[in-house]
A = this chain, B = another copy of it.
Amino acid sequence: MSFLLDAEITKQEMIGPGHYRLNLLAPDIAAAARPGQFLQVRCGSTLDPFLRRPISINAVDRENGEVALFYRVAGRGTALLTQKAQGEPVSLLGPLGRGFSLPKSQARVAVVSGGIGIAPLYFLLLELAVFGVSADVFLGAATAGQLFFTKEIKGLGHRVEPATDDGSAGYHGLVTDLFAENMARSSEYAMIYGCGPGGMQRRLAEIIKEFGVSGELSLEERMGCGVGACLSCVCKTGSEGSIQYRRVCTEGPVFPAGEVVWA
Contact = CB atoms under 8 A, between A and B. Distances in A.
Interface residues of A, number: 8
9 contacts: A44-B46, A45-B80, A46-B46, A46-B48, A46-B49, A46-B76, A46-B80, A47-B48, A48-B48
Nearest to A48: B48
Nearest to A88: B83
Contacts of A44: 46
Contacts of A46: 44, 46, 48-49, 76, 80
Q: Which 5 A-B pairs have the closest CB atoms?
A: A48-B48, A47-B48, A46-B48, A46-B46, A44-B46
Nearest to A85: B85
Nearest to A49: B46
Given A46-B46, A46-B76, 7 more contacts: A44-B46, A45-B80, A46-B48, A46-B49, A46-B80, A47-B48, A48-B48
Interface string A35-47: 0000000001111
Contacts of A76: 46
A48 B45 CA distance: 10
A49 B44 CA distance: 12
A47 B49 CA distance: 8
Contacts of A80: 45-46
Interface in A11-69: 44-49
A45 B77 CA distance: 12
Contacts of A45: 80
A8 B49 CA distance: 25
Interface string A68-96: 00000000100010000000000000000
Contacts of A47: 48
Contacts of A49: 46
